[in-house]
Structure formats: structure tokens, C-alpha cells
Structure 1
Amino acid sequence: MRLRQATRDDTAEIWRVRYAVTENRLTPGRIGDAELHAHLEDFGRGWVVELEPAPNPRIAGFAIGDARDGHIWAMFVDPPLHGQGYGRLLHDEMVRWLFAQGHRRLDLGTEPGSRAEAFYRRAGWRPLGNATDAHGDRLFELRLEDWTPHA
């Protein structure tokens, strides 16, 4: 297992994981390769937990943060691999990097009542009241002074 920065070569595996999730589902075609690549290369950075290396890489999960505004754009783990620490590893690396970019507050949206919501709450994220975004996701924030990396 290896945590590394994501590249456009990871596109197929990122989509495989993204469409495998059973919560926070994404309608196929709503986001395409061009938007994914822009978030990996222009707007921010992404990471993957690689289980099998190239030439046939297989990833357990991925995380992508937007350096412009400190928004968590995506973080997903392949459902059969939940509970093995991959999500926390990805989360802490992404959060550490976003705070290093000078942000003092990060934000994200996630499906209310989901495993992801419980995960983010355990990681120190706080809901912004009952606020939701245009997709119905509950909005959360994490402030630098409130964050403690997982040991």
C-alpha cells in the first residue's frame, strides 16, 4: 500500500471507485475527465492510496482538495475496503496540504445521514447549522485551530 499524489493516469481508477460508492452517488456524465484533470492539475491536488502499482494500478480510494478556496472536492474509498484506515490517511494528507496552502478554514458537502457524514464528524468537521448546497448535501467546515491529525 502506498499513498501518493494522483495524476491523470489514475483517471480510470478514480472513476471506478467513484461510481462504486453506494452513498453520495454521482450521476454518470455530470462530471467529466476535463473537470477531474483541472482539479488535479490546475485548481488543487489529489491523492490516491495505491494497492497495486503500475502497470496495472489499483487504488483503494482517492481525495481531491481545491487550493483556491480550501474546498474538499472529492474523497471516496472503494466500498469493500471501508474501515481499513484508507479514508483517514487520505483525509489527513489532503487537509494537511490545504492548511499548508494558507487556508484557515476548509469546507465540504456530504449526504446527510451517510457514513461520510459520520466520518467527517469524527475527524473534527462541524456542520454549518442545517445549511445544504444545491445538491442537498449538508455543509461542513473544519478550522485549522480545531484540527488534530489522526495519530
Structure 2
Amino acid sequence: MPLRQATRDDTAEIWRVRYAVTENTLTPGRITDAELHAYLEDFGRGWVVELEPGRIAGFSIGDARDGHIWAMFVDPALHGRGYGRQLHDVMVDWLFAQGHQRLDLGTQPGSRAEAFYRRAGWRPLADGLDAHGDKLFELHREDWKPHAANP
């Protein structure tokens, strides 16, 4: 599973994967290419699992300023192959290496993603949902266990 840092050249594939998902959907145009590029180049970093040149299985993008996982998605046709966990773990490791003690994210309540994050050690925040209706989660550095340590 070739994992590499995402670049603006991955924009079309990132959007292809993002709009293919059936949970945590996004209205096309709500986020611009410029916004995506800012997260990849200015505020944070992203990774992709590249199946072959120009074709990605999924991506993750995190914000170095505040330890927020901004996006993480895998092509639904490729679920269950470990790509999500690979993307998750590199993102979490990188964000903690930026000095954060706590990471956060939001996801659709009751989704496959919510179950995935719970299995990875994330805990829901008591204050519930954000302005978009996403359930809020956090992960503390002291609670982080690499994939091999998580059942």
C-alpha cells in the first residue's frame, strides 16, 4: 500500500474519493480547491494511498495549527483493506509530532467512520455535535496506541 504525502496534483483524485462516499457526504463546491490546497501546503499536511500513478484509494488531511483531522476518506469500493487505518495512523503520528497533546475531529453520528474512530481509541466529547451535525471526538497523546496495539 504505497503511502505518500499528498500534493495539489492529487486534487482531482481527492475530490473523486470525497464525492464517492455515501456517509459524511459533502455538497460539491462547499470546499474550494484553494481551501484544499491551503490545508495541504499552508496549515497542515495530507497523505494518500496511491494504488497506481494517478489513482488513489483514499486520503487524510490534518491541520497542524490545532491538531484537527480535517478530512479522511477511503473510496467505498475499497473499504476493509486497511487503507483507512494506514491513513489514520500516519496522520495521528504526524499531528502528535507537531507537539499537540490532544487531537479532535468530527464525523457523522452512527456512521462507519464513527465506529472506525472508536475502535482506534477516539472518545466522544460530552458536548455532542458541531454546527454541521457531526459528532465530535478527541484523542489524547497518552491514550494513543499504534495500530498493532489496538484490537
TM-score by length of 2: 0.97
2:41 is matched with which residue? 41
User: Taking every aligned residue pair, what percent have the same amino acid on both sides?
Assistant: 86
The Cα offsets for residues 9-56 of structure 1, whole Å up to 9 and x where unpaired, read as 000000000000000000011001000000000000000000002xxx
Aligned match of 2:4: 4
Does structure 2 retain, via aligned residues, the 8 Å contact 1:60–1:86? Answer: yes
Q: Over the residues paired in the alignment, what is the CA RMSD in angstroms?
A: 0.6
* 1:21 corresponding residue in structure 2: 21
Partner of 2:91: 94
Partner Cα distance (1:132, 1:40) in 2: 26
Q: C-alpha distance in 1, partners of 2:146/2:78? A: 21
Where structure 1 has 5 or more consecutive residues not aligned to the other structure, the ranges are none
1:148 alignment partner, SS class: coil
Q: What's the counterpart of residue 138 of structure 1?
A: 135
How many Å apart are 1:129 and its aligned residue? 1.8
User: How far apart, in 1, do the equivalents of 2:96 and 2:82 lie?
Assistant: 21
Give matches, 1:52-71, under 5 Å. 52-53=52-53, 57-71=54-68
Q: Which residue of 2 aligns with 1:125?
A: 122
Aligned to 2:69: 72
Deviations 1:53-75 (A, max 9, x none): 2xxx1000000000000000000
**How far apart are the structure 1 equivalents of 2:29 and 2:7?**
20
Q: Secondary structure at the match of 2:147?
A: coil
- What secondary structure, in the 3-state scheme, does the structure 2 residue paired with 1:17 have? helix
Give, in whole Å, the separation in 2 of the partners of 1:78 and 1:48. 11
**Any stretches of 5+ residues in structure 2 without a counterpart?**
none
Distance in 2 separating the partners of 1:58 and 1:28: 20
Letter in 2 for 1:28: P
1:142 Cα deviation after fit: 0.2
TM-score (norm 1): 0.97
Task: Please give the alpha-carbon distance, in whole angstroms, between the structure 2 residues aligned to 1:149 and 1:42.
Answer: 27
- Point out 4+ residue stretches in structure 1 off by more than 3 angstroms: none
